[in-house]
Amino acid sequence: MGYDLHITRVDHWTDADRAPISRGEWESFARQRLAEGGEVTFGETGTESVFGFDCGTGDVVSLHWWRDQVTVTGITEVRSVAALRWISEALAARLIGDDGEAY
C-alpha cells in the first residue's frame, strides 16, 4: 500500500470539517488506548502528538490528529487495514484511503 489512511466521519477525508473529530476527543481516546510516539509539527495547527499502533502484521503505524480527522501513516500491508477498523468504529468514524476508498 504505502499511502495514508484517514479516520473521519465524512465520505471523503478532505471534507472532515463537516463532521469533525476534535483534537481533545482524539487525544483522550489515544492516550487511553495507544502508545505515545512523539510529536509532529504543522505550520497551521502547531504540534500534535503522534501515537503508535502495532497492527500485528509487521506494520507499526503512526496516528496523529490533523484538520478534524486522524491520519494513519506507515501501512504497507493490506491486512493492517482490518486491524485499524476498531479505532475508527470506536470514534464513530470511517476508515478512508487517500483516494476516497472506504475500508
HSE-CB at 42 with a 13 A cutoff on CA atoms is 10
pLDDT in tens, 33-86: 999 988 888 777 778 899 999 999 989 999 999 999 999 999 988 889 999 999
> Is the whole model's pTM more than 0.85, yes or no?
yes
- CA dist 1 and 75 (Å) reads 6
